[in-house]
Amino acid sequence: MALAAYRVTRMVWIEDGPFDIFSKLRGLIYGRFGDEHWITRGLNCPFCISFWVALVVVFLPPLIYAPLGVAGGVALIFEWRLKE
């Protein structure tokens, strides 16, 4: 579950996503609330995002969060390998 929460958090926080869905979502939120709103400040904080994502992941069935967990593990491995 932790890796699934990590993967979703990373996608929302810094990735563009398929068809730029996450960058468009962030753009809509920034455009709606501005830079100083607590929601947009929360989008810049991976710890804030991960709390809310984890709250949702806990209630998901394993069929949904298992693939996200594997993707999260792969993302961590790539990050570790890129730092070498």
pLDDT of amino acid 83: 80
- Rounded to two decimals, the pTM is 0.86
pLDDT of amino acid 82: 84
User: Is it the case that residue 84 has pLDDT exceeding 80?
Assistant: no
Over residues 8-21, the mean pLDDT reads: 94
With tokens 């991976």, the residue in question is 46
Tell me how far apart the alpha carbons of residues 36 and 30 are, in angstroms, rounded to a whole number.
Answer: 9
> Could you report the per-residue pLDDT of 33-81, keeping only the tens digit for each?
998 999 999 999 999 999 999 999 999 999 988 999 999 999 999 989 8
- Which own/partner contact pairs does 40-43 have at CB distance under 8 Å and 24+ positions apart? 43/12, 43/13
pLDDT of amino acid 70: 95
Under the banding of pLDDT at 50, 70 and 90, the label for residue 13 is very high
SS3 label, residue 43: helix
